[in-house]
Structure 1
């Protein structure tokens, strides 16, 4: 579906851009954790490709694109090499990386939803896999780095924008309204929500009427 809306070259470039910035985020976390070069490469690969790999295995798209498309595998390694040698400079443009990451979030939740629907899943399941495509790599990254996954403690609303974007695509499909304009609308909506959440420190609500004396972990 998505490949019918955009020329293959543009779609491929967008995928690589999303993979690259996700890989930068994973590699930077590895540097902050004092991982060695192998750990940096692993976190870059897992962050960039984990969500798409999970989606492809769930829908039976084998071999997964992460292994059948060489550029998808090489791009995270290039990002890891960049961070390994230039991590102080990369960290200085962390805000720009966060903006690109937000764009990748929008693209991946949309592409994940449409690909799952193409393989015969229902709209709800397709939207769920769209969210998994967008945030799955980050969850694996956090687990490997011994961090509480951001999906479970959604500070600055990372998963919520992906849920909104994937749900929009599912609704557009159900009403036969999916086209380049509505697809772009879902991507932009996800992107803007994520940017606003970072700017204003929005977050998902805690448990209703929580009265525990235990302080929230930092």
Structure 2
């Protein structure tokens, strides 16, 4: 498969968009963790380029695109610089990180699928490359930060949208509608992710398992504080404030409830 000039230009626009957003999100995460300039740049670059590096290594088709095209490193640097100079916090930051992450899923799923098509692979490896490209950066970022990768706990928000986006791209390509498929697939993934986030718990297949809940959510429930997984930083601040203001009796009651829920959740997971 060969891309037309317009489709090729659109491909780079989509992939650069993903690099810019991922570098900005990664850089802001490093900034909030008080990393120095080296750690800051490292996290920004890993977040934005790891998925492409892994994809290109699997294809074994010469040097990775990020090494042969300076535009990738330049775009990642710009994204990191935005995160370094612009202060995003509170609900603004949480909303940006949430929507930036799901937008990158769509654009990188398209990029991974097209890489597979250009290499004349069939639909199975094309979908695999889409998932790797879409999730590789965030997975590597979480591993470096010693966190459980969101890939393992939020598949409905990452893997499934990437698969759907890749399938749409493959379907359009079958009818030689390449650039139309690129746009449709890039838009479909974030729409699906948002739909699942807001309404997925109505279906058992997409329901969030209790064992996946973060610590601040579990403590917030025990303390009677409302939390939102889409706003982890803000939720953590509310829980921290509640812990500081709680009396000894309230803390003991919250700890008892937390431990009871923890034992109950772990027992269900092993059943």
Whether the 8 Å CA contact 1:160–1:204 is kept in 2: the answer is no
The superposition leaves residues 45-96 of structure 1 with CA deviations (integer Å, 9 ceiling, x where unpaired) of 1111111111111112321111111120122122222222323369735424
In 2, the alpha carbon distance for the partners of 1:24 and 1:90 equals 16
Moved more, 49-58 or 82-91: 82-91
Aligned 8 A contact 1:2 1:111 in 2 = no
Aligned to 1:49: 49
Alignment-derived partner of residue 190 in structure 1: 189
- Match in the other structure for 1:72: 72
1:51, 1:133 within 8 Å by CA — same for their partners in 2? Answer: yes
Work out the CA distance in 1 between the residues paired with 2:200 and 2:25: 19
Query: Matched residues in 2 for 1:18 and 1:90: separation?
Result: 23
- Aligned partner of 2:12 in structure 1 is 12
Cα distance between partner residues in 2 of 1:92 and 1:24: 14
- Cα distance in 2 for residues equivalent to 1:15 and 1:213: 40
Aligned counterparts of 2:119 and 2:49: Cα–Cα separation in 1: 19
Match of 1:23 in 2: 23
Report how far residue 101 of structure 1 moved: 3.4
Contact 2:161 2:190 in 1 (8 A): yes
* Contact kept? 1:157, 1:204, Cα under 8 Å: no
SS in 1 for 2:152: coil
Could you tell me how far apart the structure 1 residues matched to 2:193 and 2:65 are? 26
5 Å-filtered alignment, 1:126-137, equals: 126-137=126-137
Give secondary structure in 1 for the equivalent of 2:62: coil
Query: Counterpart of 2:124 in 1: which secondary structure?
Result: helix
CA distance in 2, matches of 1:121, 1:10: 21
Take 1:36 and 1:46, find their aligned partners in 2: how far apart are those partners?
15
SS of residue matched to 1:161: helix
**Highest Rg: 1 or 2?**
2
C-alpha distance in 2 between matches for 1:41 and 1:199: 33
For residue 214 of structure 1, report the CA deviation from its aligned partner: 1.6
Structure 1 residue 40: Cα displacement: 1.3
Gaps of 5+ in 2: 211-262
* Cα gap change, 1:138 to 1:212, in 2 (>3 Å): same
Structure 1: gaps of 5 or more residues: none
Residues 120 and 135 of structure 1: CA distance in aligned 2, closer, same or farther (over 3 Å)? same
Please say if 1:166 is aligned against 2:166: yes
The question of 1:214 aligning with 2:213 is answered no
- More contact order relative to length (CA 8 Å, sep ≥ 6): 1
CA contact (8 A) 2:169 2:178 kept: no
Please give the TM-score of this superposition, normalised by the length of structure 2: 0.68
Q: 1:118 maps to which residue?
A: 118
Contact preservation (8 Å) 2:156, 2:196: yes
How many aligned positions are there? 212
- When residues 215 and 22 of structure 1 are mapped into structure 2, their CA distance, relative to the original with a 3 A threshold, is farther
